[in-house]
Each structure stands twice: as structure tokens, then as C-alpha cells.
């Protein structure tokens, strides 16, 4: 399907689902307002059947609005698959995309550069191999629950996992939260700004200072500033993990806006950003490459 056909389909689906959602919301709001009016007049005893009708209307509205929303999400995922097909990304081997999957909760809990979540949500899992480095990237949203059972989102961003071609047999963590493991110890660089932003831990100080060269430290600070994000990362043996909390949607497609060349450009940039991280933070001789 070409770009013009995708845009025509978007207009058709958006109009249809928007109408469905508006009808659903209208039923929800209307039945709720009538319920409030009845409650204010203490008229429950005079109209029990009316209350049943209102509750039924409320739940029907919620179902109708949900159907419209799910239809939009399904079509958005179809568009994303088609946009990936518009570029062959020939430098990436075995490129895969799954709109309904995300980085596993097990990975997040084992790496421990973010607080362990009570709930993990996510989408848009992209995997592939670039220059012998296998990667997995997706949107993730992490939430915890307070003592009253209320859910609070504390991380919303993108998680990157890279399988490196060499094993450091060590652990390095640079993150926002404190470490509670006795297996790694606190360290600091000579850069005050970096030490102020990040808590740093390792079980191999020689490796740590070999990796944390001034140019690499500057790149991390530049990355945070550029994306207005909070970054945490870790080297654990032959893996590099990067969590970027930027509150932005990875591989974003907005059905209310035209699908055009700019959409494709932004979409491609999100995927090519993965390759840029590999080039900048592993293969760059002045970056973190271990000699």
C-alpha cells in the first residue's frame, strides 16, 4: 500500500471511529448527568426502572467508545507495519516489528536501573541486528500502587536492550535511583555535573574508568539535554541497557493528522536512532569501545 492509499484509508477510518467514540461519550455523559439530576432530587424511589435504564445506557456508551478506540489502535498498528515496509532498512538484519509486544517485565526487574514496577505496559517492540549487535526496543510505561491501591505511573519512555559482541564480565550502572545491592560499589567521575545528575556503581573500577571517558560522559549529558529526558543505563556482562524517560511515544502515528512524508521521516528517525546509539556508544573509537 502506497502513502496516498494509506492516507485515504486513514481519513475513512478516522471519520468512522471518531463518530463511534463521540456517540459512546455522549451516552456516558448524558446518562451520568441525568443520574446526578435524579440523585439531587432524591427521586430513586420514584424511578427505579429509569435508574436501570440510565446505568445500562452508561455501560453501553462505555462499550461503544471502547470499540471505536480499539478500532483506531488496530488501524494505527497496521499503518506502522506499512510505514516500516516503505523503507527496506537494508543495514538491519532480521528486522521485526510487533505493535502488541514490549520489553519483558523480567528484563526490567533483573537489570534494576529503574524501580521494580507493579504493572508494566508497552507496545511497538522492534528487534533486529545491526553491525553484529542484536537489539530490542519498545515503549514502556511503569506503574506502582500505593497503600490504597491507586496506580501511579513513574516511568514513561523507551527501553533499549543491546546484545554486545564482547563480554565485559562486569557490571556498571549509571542511574537516578540508589543501588541496594552489595555486589557493586559507588564510584564517581571527575565531572561535577555528571556526578550531580547520576548515581554510579560498578564491581570493576578499572573497566568503569576505561569506559567512562570524558567524551562519553559529555555524550550522555548531551543526550539528556537534547531529548529533555531522564536517562539510566547499565552494562551487565555482554549487554547494554538504556532507559530514556521522555514521556514521548515511540513510533508515533496520530490518526487525527495527515499521513505524509513528514510522518514517514519522523517514523524512520525513531528506528534509525537505534542505529545511531550503537554507532555513537559502541563503535565510535572515541566513545566507549574497549581496546
End-to-end CA distance of the chain: 47
Spans of the chain below 70 pLDDT: 1, 38-50, 83-88, 247, 283-291
Opening angle at CA 131, ends 127 and 134, nearest 5 = 30
Q: How far apart are CA 60 and CA 32, in angstroms?
A: 12
Q: For residue 260, give the C-alpha cell.
A: 505524509
Q: Can you say how many angstroms the Cα of residue 41 is from the centroid of all Cα atoms in its chain?
A: 47
Where are the extended beta strands (E) located within 102-150?
A: 119-130, 133-145
Burial group, residue 23, by CB count within 10 angstroms (0-12, 13-18, 19+): middle
Q: With contact defined as beta carbons under 8 Å apart, do 133 and 282 qualify?
A: yes
pLDDT of residue 247: 66
Q: With contact defined as beta carbons under 8 Å apart, do 243 and 232 qualify?
A: yes
Q: How far apart are CA 111 and CA 180, in angstroms?
A: 12
pLDDT of residue 47: 58
Q: How far apart are CA 91 and CA 105, in angstroms?
A: 29
pLDDT digits (tens, 9 = 90+) for 171-219: 999 999 887 777 899 999 989 999 999 999 999 999 998 888 888 888 8
- Grid cell 459512546 in the structure block, residue: 24
pLDDT of residue 39: 66
- Residue 10's H or E segment, with its range, is helix 3-40
pLDDT of residue 219: 86
Cβ count near 188 (within 10 Å): 12
pLDDT of residue 286: 41
Is the full-model pTM beyond 0.95? no
Amino acid at each position: 500500500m502506497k502513502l496516498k492509499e494509506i492516507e485515504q484509508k486513514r481519513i475513512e477510518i478516522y471519520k468512522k471511529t471518531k463518530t463511534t467514540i463521540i456517540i459512546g461519550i455522549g451516552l456516558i455523559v448524558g446518562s451520568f448527568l441525568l443520574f446526578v439530576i435524579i440523585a439531587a432530587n432524591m427521586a430513586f424511589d420514584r424511578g427505579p426502572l429509569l435508574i436501570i435504564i440510565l446505568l445500562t445506557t452508561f455501560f453501553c456508551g462505555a462499550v461503544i467508545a471502547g470499540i471505536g478506540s480499539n478500532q483506531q489502535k488496530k488501524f494505527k498498528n497496521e499503518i506502522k507495519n506499512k510505514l516500516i515496509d516503505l523503507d527496506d532498512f537494508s543495514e538491519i538484519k532480521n528486522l521485526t516489528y510487533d505493535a502488541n509486544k514490549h520489553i519483558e517485565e523480567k528484563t526490567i526487574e533483573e537489570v534494576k536501573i529503574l524501580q521494580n514496577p507493579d504493572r508494566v505496559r508497552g507496545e511497538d517492540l522492534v528487534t533486529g541486528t545491526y553491525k553484529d549487535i542484536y537489539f530490542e526496543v519498545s515503549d514502556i510505561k511503569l506503574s506502582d500502587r500505593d497503600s490504597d491501591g491507586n496506580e501511579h505511573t513513574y516511568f514513561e519512555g523507551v527501553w533499549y536492550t543491546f546484545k554486545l559482541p564482547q563480554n565485559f564480565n562486569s557490571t556498571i550502572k549509571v542511574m537516578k535511583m540508589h543501588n541496594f545491592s552489595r555486589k557493586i560499589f559507588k564510584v564517581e567521575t571527575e565531572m561535577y555535573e555528571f556526578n550531580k545528575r547520576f548515581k554510579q556503581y560498578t564491581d570493576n573500577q578499572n573497566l568503569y574508568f576505561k569506559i567512562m571517558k570524558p567524551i562519553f560522559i559529555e555524550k550522555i549529558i548531551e543526550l539528556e539535554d537534547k531529548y529533555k529526558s531522564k536517562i539510566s543505563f547499565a552494562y551487565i556482562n555482554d549487554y547494554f541497557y538504556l532507559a530514556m524517560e521522555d514521556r514521548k511515544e515511540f513510533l508515533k502515528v496520530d490518526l487525527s493528522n495527515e499521513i505524509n512524508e513528514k510522518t514517514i521521516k519522523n517514523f524512520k528517525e525513531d528506528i534509525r536512532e537505534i542505529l545511531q546509539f550503537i554507532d555513537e556508544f559502541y563503535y565510535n573509537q572515541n566513545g566507549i569501545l574497549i581496546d
